[in-house]
Structure 1
Amino acid sequence: MLDIRTFDAKGGGNVLYKALAHPIAAEALETLSARLQGGGEFAIYDPDDRLATLAALYPAFRPTAGIYTHDSERVGSPDSWGRPQKALTTLSGDAATTVLVPSFEHEKIMGRLARVIRDDQVVFTLQDACLPGSMLSNPRQYLDKLNFATNFAFFRDDERFSTRLVTANYWCNYGATHVRYWMRLFDGQGEVLAEWEHPVPDGPAGIVIDSAEIRTRFDLPAFCGQLFIHVLGARGHDVVKYALDVYGKTDEPSLSVTHDANAWPSPRFATLPAPAPGERIVLWVQNSHATPIPAGTMTINPMGVEQHAPIVEEIGPFATHAVDIGALLPGLAWPTQLEFRAGNHLVRPRYEVSDGLCTRIAHMNVERSDLRPEPALRQFPADLGRGFLLPFPVLDPKFFESWVQPTPMSESIESLPVRLDLFGEDGQPRGQHFLGNLPRGHRVAVALHDLMDEPGHADLVYDFRDGGEGDGWLHGLMRYRLRANGHTAETSFGSHIFNTLMTWRHEPQSYSGPPPGLTTRLFLKLGQDSRRSFSCLIYPASITGLPDSETILHLHDANGVEIAQSTIRIAASGSHMVWPHEIFGVETVEKAGAGGYVLIRDLTCRLFGYHGQRDATGAFSLDHMFGF
């Protein structure tokens, strides 16, 4: 496993990791490592404790001579490789004629080392690995998180499929101007196919990047790889959010949607189902780094079972590799769920399910290593009501099957004591269903269409009546199947505390700002081509007695200009299906154009939503929404 820290729940993303892993920096670091290797042994002065991360990402930077420190209390203590650190004042006595300093502040370091280096010692810093000033949101502070608003996207265009990345310029809400999206497209072997900047108008304009258009513009062959995205001029935060449609060409009936990949690699991921009978599941493993992933480093195992099947192929820098789950783990079938031990080599991966003529793509989720069972969840005060809950839609049972499978999402959790609370669209309870104290490796998938005879939603909540433990990171895999033709979509998400005035740690979360999060700002893209977009909005409520929502739907055209608005009201614990073409009219929605969207705002409560598209044949996509 790569010994790197990429993200923690309190501090957010590790800016140093992003700075070192950036593809432009990787090219410069490859050149630097070659120069170091050609100069014999090299000493290292590590003033900011960056060597371990650098050497984990680029093994050629592992020291071959002494490691020096200016901290007198560290002199003699072991470094990351078990060797004693030396006093910086003795650097001139090292036999090495090359010194590496993992710092981006070249002039500052040279001034400091002028006291201790010999005339024949050459000093290298990370100066050449800095991004150009034109790419920096804050040139005065290189390791500012806003300089590294980056992410990856699964990106494919071939004879069957295209992909379309859709988002909006939400950076303008924080005062950003002259925003550009810098893109680098890698093919399946990790080779660069194209590189370009996508300018974004000032204001809340829609952003659409379609693989078919990119393929035509650069005259590219068919590809299945990944797109690296760097938002230049970001303000407010460094999280690059988007929805990603995967749609079939010509007579291809497939349609699915997923979303941003989380920009930080993780040791483990979960919510990967085993294939059901008649299905083939491919896990798309996409290397997020410029260093190969060694063969056998990553494994997949049945959840709760320490039987690991290794991925035996080496995966090259930024390369994409398809893993056939059924071939790797024969004999397993849904509702068995799987765990992917990825070793910090990649951001949140996608998996693709083929079922007859159709395919669908969904995402795995980060399995956290920092959480432990939390006894306080058993004794929440009345002000927090039911506490953590995972809301998800139950589509009309006359037309759809709706399934849910609770999934453990932290390494330490061994049981899932859970219950389903069922609600109609009017917010009134329709019953409860206790699932029991499920073991980590359970094979339970609940058919909601057998528990409800009308559309609405369900909340997955903790229920400790039979014991068990919780960590506040309860997740579920939700699967929906159209009865008429079998078209299927699936998504997964985690629990939160919703719409309480009182807080517990960082809950109820806000779309922006500190808790309690009691407002809504959700992005709903419009349908592409002849497809209609929709959103299932849910008003999740951990407590009772809340008033109806006051939800305003703002229809924007592709340039970000608001052209219509409408108000809806949703009862607490209720839900509402939003079809923009029905609310605003087909002609008005068409006027919004490609890149148009609906901004869903509410200043009275935090709503949660799922979105997708539907075509004339009944094919549909569905995933949870994002807010900003």
Structure 2
Amino acid sequence: MPLAIDTFHQIQGGQSLVKALGHPLAAQKAHRLLELLAQEKSIVVYDPLNQFQSFVALYKVAQLNIAAILVQKTEAIGQTVLGYVTEPITALPHYPRAALFLAVFDSGVFQWQIQSLLPPKMPLFTLDILRLADQMIANSQQYLDPLNFATNFVLFRESQNLHTRLTTANYWAGYGAKKASLWCILFDESGKSLAQWQTLLSDSVHTITIDSQEVKRRFKLPDFTGSLFIHVINVAGHDVVKYALDIYDDHANIISSTHDANAWPADRYAGLPAPKAGESVILWIQNSQPCPIPAGEIGLNLMGTEEIAWLEQPIAPFATYPLKVADLLPHATWPQQLEIQAGKYFVRPRYEIITDHSRRIAHVNVERVDLVADQQISRSMPWLGKGYILPAPILPISRWKTLVMPTPMATGQQSLPIKLIAYDGLGQVMASHYFGNIPRSQSVAFDLDTLLTETQLPHDYGHLELVYDFEAGMEADGWLHGLFRYEDREHLWGADTSFGSHIFNTVLTYKNEPQSYTGSPPGLTTRLFLRLGRDSTRTFCHLIYPASTPWHPYSHTQVVLHNQKGMEVARKQLTIPCSGSLLWYYDDVFDAQERAAAGAKAYIIVRDATCRLFGYHGLINAQGTQFSLDHMFGF
């Protein structure tokens, strides 16, 4: 059964209670709280905010002698919670010899409210025992303020010839954050803590880099594979920790990238590709909770089927487990897609595809369990044009093959009415492909070679858009996703990237679209982070200007080069036609003198105040034999 915790709501956003309860430092204090409660002969639980069940989901309370569960809301009286029929808090005097567990943070006001009901000398315990140290909290008056819990997990490993590098920026400084710091704890594969450290960040938008080689040297560690938990303290503007994650080796023979993990565990994930012949697909499960994952709680099934293969292997708190897809589903094969039954135990996981000559890493996506078809989307077409758009690059066809796989990403999606529109870099439609109304159980991998040739694209590249096709079907919910696979025709190296659709570049709004990183929709500007390669590795960027309705004819895009400390080194102006795209390389746009002045840990901000762009970043090694690709993040 999935954990009985609230994690993320599309409207309300992430729920910080589960982060407060499950924080590694809070977990240590929770076990001490349980020891104290176990010493009491009888306990009455007061649960005014319905938070006790989340605590119970993460921590064992079976050893506690609970006499009653009391509530504040009259509509909650008489409900059955954990086998107890709830009573009103006014019944507290009926339990004079019990201890009281007030299951809330910021408990002071609740203690004040019940002063007249408290029997003399009644022991009192609250969730405030779990609070982090004051210096880790920006808003001490509201402990569950989401800005107090800007946390995330990272798949982090270090071996003799395989390394991990996280790159991001202190983008919170751009929203006024002062004296922010980065607190980290590294867990090994078994969930054991290997190292803890805290780094003070400067009050500028500067590079943040965590490299597994440096961590290993600093703490004199053996090789490790596990989870890096990061908590950014004193943030402003965003409570989401975003990052780019590179996997590399000593000789640039392995280059692969992915990005942030979505910080809230979900019931299900989808978009996991089954292996081709000769491939091994590893799903990296990072237990993101302070409780173990019991055997039989994590499972895989073919998309559109109900037959689930369960992992009969427990996973310790904060441990990492490499699940080989073929061990659970030995007959699954590309292009079949798999669902992950995750039970809210872990954040969005990574998967890794390994062959004799290559390895690449990517992520699956959150499969929504709360969506139903929305007829208003089709009825809005006269005003919203193409409406929801999922854009992806068409890399130079002479070199790369592009495979497109629409992916069901909500349990209510029984079919996907989709079409593909291919554009050249100038924004001209080159071709279209109609998928029809794809049944949930039918996995389709469309080879763009069957639609386009390099002679059709003036610059050998362009972009594609997946959109709803309401002539094929009316089922739409705005949660349109796709997996895009790119393969080097000569060297057989590959990269996977996946994302969901949005409404782009229209002043009209629908629900929370076009999304804005800050404030209310419509989001009509761009601020994207581009991390840069090291040494001889070459960085490229593919910027796409999608538009649901006609927008400005051309973008006015600034690419601003910063050094590690966030100081601007140089900026260039780029222009992209509406519905067009631009593929550019770092060393073509910025000359050798500018790159030298920027230094090794430089970064680029892609800024446009006139339109919302969508971007992809990649690296190519000096030999041109390996590359990485994933979508960029914005803030």
Which region of structure 1 is more displaced relative to structure 2, 586-595 or 328-337?
586-595
The residue identity in structure 2 corresponding to 1:301 is N
Alignment partner of 1:230 is 2:231: yes
AA aligned opposite 1:620:
F
Partner Cα distance (1:379, 1:110) in 2: 52
Whichever residue aligns with residue 69 of structure 2, its letter is: I
Contact 1:511 1:521 in 2 (8 A): no
Q: Which amino acid aligns with 2:571?
A: Q
Read off the aligned partner of 1:263 and give its amino acid letter. Answer: A
Residue of structure 1 equivalent to 2:532 = 526
**Alignment correspondent of 1:99:** 100
Work out whether residues 378 and 474 of structure 2, in 8 Å CA contact, stay in contact via their aligned partners in 1: no
d(CA) in 2 for partners of 1:198, 1:508: 36
2:627 pairs with 1:620: yes
SS of 1:316's partner is: coil
| Aligned partner letter, 1:307 | E
Match of 1:553 among 559, 566, 579: 559
Q: In the superposition, relative to structure 1, how do residues 280 and 519 fare at CA in structure 2: closer, same or farther (>3 Å)?
A: same
Which residue matches 2:202?
Answer: 201
CA RMSD for the aligned pairs?
1.6
CA distance in 2, matches of 1:208, 1:446: 37
Residues 528-553 of structure 1, C-alpha deviations (whole Å, 9 max, x = no match): 12211111000011123641111011
Per the alignment, residue 362 of structure 1 pairs with 362
Aligned to 1:442: 442
**Residue 237 of structure 1, CA deviation:** 2.0
Paired AA for residue 516 in structure 2: S
Q: SS of the counterpart of 2:248?
A: strand
2:188 paired residue number: 187
Q: How far has the Cα of 1:106 moved from its partner? A: 4.6
Q: How does 1:191-340 map to 2 (within 5 A)?
A: 191-250=192-251, 253-340=253-340
Q: Deviations over 1:231-256 (max 9, x none)?
A: 11101120111111111124x62211
Counterpart pick for 2:67 among 62, 65, 68: 65
Match of 2:510 among 504, 526, 530: 504
Amino acid corresponding to residue 202 of structure 1 in structure 2: D
Cα–Cα, structure 1 residues 6 and 465, in superposed 2: closer, same or farther, change >3 Å? Answer: same
Aligned partners of 1:369 and 1:280: how far apart in 2? Answer: 29
Structure 1 stretch displaced more, 156-165 or 583-592: 583-592
Could you tell which deviates more after superposition, 15-24 or 87-96? Answer: 87-96
Amino acid across the alignment from 1:508: P
Determine whether 1:574 maps to 2:576. Answer: no
CA contact (8 A) 2:301 2:338 kept: yes
What per-residue deviation string (whole Å, max 9, x for no partner) do you get for residues 240-282 of structure 1? 11111111124x6221111110110100001100001110010
Which amino acid counterpart does residue 121 of structure 1 have in structure 2?
A: M
Question: Hey, what does 1:543 align to over in structure 2?
Answer: 549
Q: State the secondary structure of the residue aligned to 2:634.
A: coil
Tell me if the contact between 2:216 and 2:222 (Cα under 8 Å) persists in the aligned partners.
Answer: yes
Structure 1 counterpart of 2:633, one-letter code: F
Report if aligned partners of 1:301, 1:339 keep a CA contact under 8 Å in 2. yes
Contact 2:562–2:603 (CA under 8 A) maintained in structure 1: yes
- Paired residues of 1:527 and 1:533 also in contact (CA < 8 A): yes
SS for the counterpart of 2:66 is coil
More divergent stretch after superposition (507-516 vs 64-73):
64-73
Supply the distance in 2 between the matched residues of 1:464 and 1:114 (Cα, whole angstroms).
Answer: 61
1:74: how far off?
4.0
Return 9-18 or 269-278, whichever deviates more.
9-18
- Residue 333 of structure 1 aligns to which amino acid in structure 2? T
Query: Is the CA contact 2:506–2:551 (under 8 Å) kept in the aligned structure 1?
Result: no
Deviates more, 1:398-407 or 1:112-121: 112-121
The answer for unaligned runs of 5 or more in structure 1 is: none
Question: Which residue of structure 1 lines up, in the alignment, with residue 421 of structure 2?
Answer: 421
Matches within 5 A, 1:353-502: 353-452=353-452, 453=454, 454-502=460-508
* Secondary structure at 1:115 match in 2: helix
Shift of 1:73: 4.9
Aligned to 1:166, what secondary structure does the other structure show?
strand
**2:89 corresponds to 1:88:** yes
User: Aligned equivalents of 2:88 and 2:261: distance in 1?
Assistant: 43
> Does residue 127 in structure 1 map to residue 134 in structure 2?
no
Look up the match of 1:42. 43
Alpha-carbon offset, residue 470 of structure 1? 1.4
The amino acid of 2:126's aligned partner reads T
Distance in 1 between the 2:176 and 2:393 partners? 35
Tell me, what secondary structure is at the counterpart of 2:633? coil
Determine helix, strand or coil for the equivalent of 1:382. Answer: helix
Q: How far apart are the structure 2 equivalents of 1:505 and 1:112?
A: 39
Q: Distance in 2 between matches of 1:89 and 1:141?
A: 26
Residue 583 of structure 1 corresponds to 589
1:446-471 Cα deviation digits (max 9, x unpaired): 11133222311110111122325111
- Give the distance between the partners of 2:72 and 2:478, measured in 1 at CA: 42
Q: Distance in 1 between matches of 2:135 and 2:342?
A: 34
SS at match of 1:65: strand
Measure, in 2, the Cα distance between the counterparts of 1:98 and 1:108: 19
Distance in 2 between residues matched to 1:590 and 1:435, nearest whole Å? 48
Map Cα deviations across residues 578-621 of structure 1 (whole Å, 9 max, x no partner). 21111111332232123211110111110001101111122111
Please give the TM-score of this superposition, normalised by the length of structure 2.
0.96
User: Alpha-carbon deviations, 1:376-407, whole Å to 9, x = none?
Assistant: 22232433111111100011111111111000
CA contact (8 A) 1:248 1:254 kept: yes
Instruction: Letter of the 2:550 partner, please give it.
Output: T
Normalised by the length of structure 1, the TM-score is: 0.97
Q: After TM superposition, where is structure 1 displaced by more than 6 Å over at least 4 residues in a row?
A: none
Number of residue pairs matched by the alignment: 626
Mapped to 2, the partners of 1:416 and 1:104 lie a distance apart of 44
1:141-152 matches, within 5 Å, as: 141-152=142-153
- Retained in 1: the 8 A contact 2:505–2:551? no
Distance, in Å, in 2 between the alignment partners of 1:501 and 1:114 is 53
Farther-moved stretch of structure 1 (359-368 vs 47-56): 47-56
Kept in 2: contact 1:383–1:500 (CA 8 A): no
Q: Distance in 1 between matches of 2:94 and 2:518?
A: 53
Distance 2:33 2:255 in 1: 45
Q: List per-residue Cα deviations over 1:134-193 (Å, max 9, x = no partner).
A: 001112221211111111111111112111110111111111111111101111000100
Aligned-pair CA distance for 1:71? 3.8
Alpha carbons of structure 1 residues 101 and 481: separation in structure 2 relative to 1, 3 Å: same
Name the residue aligned to 2:457.
Answer: none
Gaps of 5+ in 2: 455-459
Q: Deviations over 1:503-547 (max 9, x none)?
A: 111111123222111111001111112211111000011123641
Contact map agreement 2:237 2:518 (CA 8 A) in 1: no
Matches of 1:352 and 1:50, distance apart in 2: 37
Q: What is the CA–CA distance in structure 2 between the aligned matches of 1:141 and 1:554, rounded to whole Å?
A: 37
Distance 1:470 1:71 in 2: 38
CA contact (8 A) 2:96 2:119 kept: no
Asked if structure 2 preserves the Cα contact closer than 8 Å seen for 1:184 and 1:229, the reply is yes
Deviation at 1:115, TM superposition (A): 2.6
